[in-house]
Chains A and B, each alone.
Chain A
Amino acid sequence: MPQIHASNSVWPRLEPLLADVRKPARYVGGEDNIVVKDHASTDARWLLIYPDAYEIGQPNQGIQILYEILNERARTVAERAFAPWPDMEQLMREHDIPLFSLENHLPLRSFDAVGFSLAAEVGYTNLLNCLDLGGLALRAEDRADDDPLVIIGGHAAFNPEPLAPFVDVAVAGDGEEFVLELDALIADARTRGTWSRSALLAQVAEIDGAYVPAFYAPRYTADGRLAGTFPRRSGVPYRVPKRTVSDLDRWPYPRKQLVPLTETVHERYAVEIFRGCTRGCRFCQAGMITRPVRERSKDTVKAMVAEGVANTGLSEVGLLSLSSADHSEILGLCGELADTYEGTATSLSLPSTRVDAFNVELADELTRNGRRTGLTFAPEAGTERMRRVINKMVTEADMLRTAETAFANGWRHIKLYFMIGLPTERDEDVLGIAELGLKVLAIGREYGRKNKVTVSVGGFVPKPHTPFQWCAQDRPEELQRKLGLIKARVASDRNLNLRYHDPEPGLMEGLLARGDRRVADVVEAAFRSGARFDGWDEHYDHDRWLRACEQAGVDVDWFCHRERGEDEVMAWDHIDSGLERDWLWSDLRDAVREKPLDDCRWIPCYDCGVCPGLDLAHQTNHDGAPRRTHLPLYAGQS
């Protein structure tokens, strides 16, 4: 059983080292709204880890929400840890300091459950580093029976196979109800004094949504394809369903959001105004795996904002979701919040990249007295043909009209997001990105000589549980060539700012996203040869990853650049996101035929499979008003 002693705190040994590391505030805790409990009076102890630097991980909503709901239980404690920056890692290894929590500065091994939140694949080597620094064997099978449980959640858990050997449990979907059910099992085992990881896992596997990789084994065909991932014992499901919280108003978290002492990427009180998205963008994994749409009511959001601001002293409020302008009561919500905070120093923000006048109207509302600098839109592709393929239904006329409205209303800088490397893409689609950017800039010029346009271009990475899961990913060389086309076209214009990323990390992201259990050896080899912080340009080393692939005998080409057949078994087929495979395939066929599909919030259900499986329907429109009266979805589009 994991041992507990307050005297286990690493603080006395850590404190003298803090003078020698960059940004020591990353390691001290002490934030406003931190919960520090005495472990002696608890039955279940969780360590929640976001495997990236503190300033990236601290604002993470998933960690924040689970931290609160676990700590609300009197006999449960949840603490947090983040990946130490390499300077700190080196000192920790020199001084034999294990990975520690920020609340009581206790070593990882003093916890019963270690839960990682994985928003993206780039955290995988940091996850291994956290386990290693915590004194755990990397592979679950090599760990002792009294070691803590290692759990992963977050979007990346929808294909847990590349991490399968390292974790005990993976859960896809919403974590709120799941952690409480798991917490009850842990507390029970602890109070009975019979902590055994193997015995506990048998019970955990019975929780809805729990995937225990040790209870499943992949089988491969003679030519190296996956034949399937099959249960190794009776009583575990063939396909593990994702978890879905049906009524967000019953889970009004965060209430007492942790406020960092030092700068982080988002310093705002953040409230999710809804989860899920059914716009049906075919490249978007987040939209596909979080269906259906579940809104928070306007009143709940307003109450959360009032309480959240009072509890934190934060001056910015973020109304988050995958496409916040789509909330059925958004105009009223923004207007009422803007009324409440008008004339105060509290500002509101709404991440929404929808290309229409309504989005501009909302942005105007939220900046009544404020500065109108940058507005962001995501047409995602350069031509209407390409946009029909990815189901991002924006006409060029929409884009230009929207830009016109924005510049006319005083916005000075428009940012446009695009992807290259999309299925069926031709050079004219790529060039269309540059053309569209230049056209928007030409409109901007009419409203001000100094108005600017930023064109941001990313390489497309096919993701599991999307219609594009069968598609080949472009090679980095090909993406470079396509970037070159755009660069050449826009080079001369100083007011058009082109931003792009090096395409090489995207290749590894693709491998980790669609890899099977064999790819775990790559992750381990990369970690052992020093890979850390792969999401950071200054740390990412492509050659190291290629060597790791070679060492593990994994053919990147085969995993990433090969088009897969309709019947090919995917590494994530046993994780049930609710989406029918047949529907995903037919949506891919529609994509290739350049056939768009409207949002099932405003057209009849087209049976993607999610709602009946969950016994749920969209939860929108709390005020009972007719649907979508304020604006057509796509201005100028039938």
Chain B
Amino acid sequence: MRVRARYAKDGRLRFISAIDLGRVWERALRKAELPIAYSEGFTPHPKVSFPDALALGYASTGEYVELTFAAPVDVASAVARFNAASPPGLRILEAVEVVDGAPRIARWLRASLWELRYPTQHAGVLDGGVRALAHAEHLPVDRERKGTSTRLDLKPALHMIASHEDAVRVILHHTEPPFRPTEVHQSLCTTGGLTALEQPRLVIRVAQGSAEPSGLCEALTGQPLPVRPHDHTAATS
């Protein structure tokens, strides 16, 4: 039986790597005594797959996982048991059973809605920066890698951007190479003209899904999430 879930990684768990997170998942599943299926062989691995990895340090309410169980489970009670067994900072938000042969969820993860929370003293200036980004034709950002710096254009990846109080919310297409919220921040400092803007105190991936004219269509439930949180009451936690 296959189950697909959207989960949150936040709190202290923000500071563990994707590899560590995989182990935390395994243990929580074992501790919850859920009948997860294992691969064959000398060193069996639980059948838990993660379509993508969240960079260390970011919080998220929009991570996804696919689980294969060796026996049928009641999804709601499995979620409750998992959440009771998992350490603080890891919890399943939603889960659905998937029919056999359904394509992997990775296919539906085409964009992310990010929220960059800034120190409150910057709240007043964010809107100006956001407007500049929305109207610019190109958003040149520099990316350092192995000592060399490459200039990339963030603009084609930027679907929508808005500010709300101390937060900037942005929908980024999953492009190759992918862009990160740090590059949105960089753009706000340069093109956005906010030269004195400090680093965001917290970056949250709100959800993943597909980019729609109205915002983001969440991958698991199809729920629409507008880029402006006050447009929709259930947008963020």
Contact = CB atoms under 8 A, between A and B. Distances in A.
Interface of A: 16, 18-19, 24-25, 27-32, 259, 261-263, 267, 310-315, 345, 369-371
B11 A30 contact: yes
B85 interface: yes
Interface residues of B, number: 31
A261 B42 contact: no
Contacts of A24: 15, 56-57
Nearest to A311: B31
Contacts of B17: 25, 262
Most buried by B among A25, A259, A313: A313
B27 A314 contact: yes
Q: In the complex, which of the residues B17, B23, B32, B33 has the most CB atoms of chain A within 10 Å of its own CB atom?
A: B23
A314 B28 CA distance: 9
B87 A345 contact: no
A313 B31 contact: yes
Contact of A345 (B20, B46, B85): B46
Contacts of A310: 31, 33
Contacts, number: 69
Interface in B1-42: 11-13, 15-17, 19-20, 23-24, 26-33, 38, 42
A434 to B, nearest CB: 32
Nearest to B57: A19
Interface of B: 11-13, 15-17, 19-20, 23-24, 26-33, 38, 42-44, 46, 56-57, 85, 87-89, 199, 201
B42 A259 contact: no
A263 B15 contact: no
A261 B89 CA distance: 11
A371 B42 CA distance: 5
Contacts of B13: 30, 261
Nearest to A315: B30
A166 B57 CA distance: 38
B42 A370 contact: yes
A261 B26 CA distance: 11
A371 B12 contact: no
10 contacts: A16-B199, A16-B201, A18-B15, A31-B87, A261-B13, A261-B87, A313-B29, A314-B30, A315-B30, A345-B44
B20 A30 contact: no
B88 A30 contact: yes
A261 B20 contact: yes
A262 B27 contact: no
Nearest to B33: A310
A212 to B, nearest CB: 38
Given A16-B201, A313-B31, A371-B42, A261 B24 contact: yes
Given A16-B201, A262-B17, A345-B44, A29 B31 contact: no
B27 A32 contact: yes
Nearest to B87: A32
A261 B16 CA distance: 7
Given A313-B32, A369-B42, 12 more contacts: A18-B15, A19-B57, A24-B56, A25-B20, A30-B12, A31-B87, A32-B31, A261-B13, A262-B16, A263-B19, A310-B31, A371-B42
Contact of B20 (A27, A263, A312): A263
A316 to B, nearest CB: 11
A371 B40 CA distance: 12
Given A25-B20, A345-B46, A313 B57 contact: no
Contacts of B16: 25, 261-262
Contacts of B32: 313
Nearest to B86: A32
B68 to A, nearest CB: 14
B145 to A, nearest CB: 18
Given A18-B57, A310-B31, A313-B30, A261 B12 contact: yes
Nearest to A310: B31
B28 A313 contact: yes
A27 B23 CA distance: 18
A314 B42 CA distance: 18
Contacts of B15: 18, 24-25, 27-28
A29 B12 contact: yes
A496 B194 CA distance: 63
A18 B15 CA distance: 8
Given A261-B20, A262-B20, A313 B44 contact: no
B87 A30 contact: yes
A24 B57 CA distance: 9
A27 B88 CA distance: 16
Nearest to A18: B15
Nearest to B201: A16
Contacts of B27: 32, 259, 312-315
A96 B89 CA distance: 28
B57 A345 contact: no
A107 B57 CA distance: 24
Contacts of B29: 313
Contacts of B12: 28-30, 261
Nearest to A262: B20
A26 B57 CA distance: 13
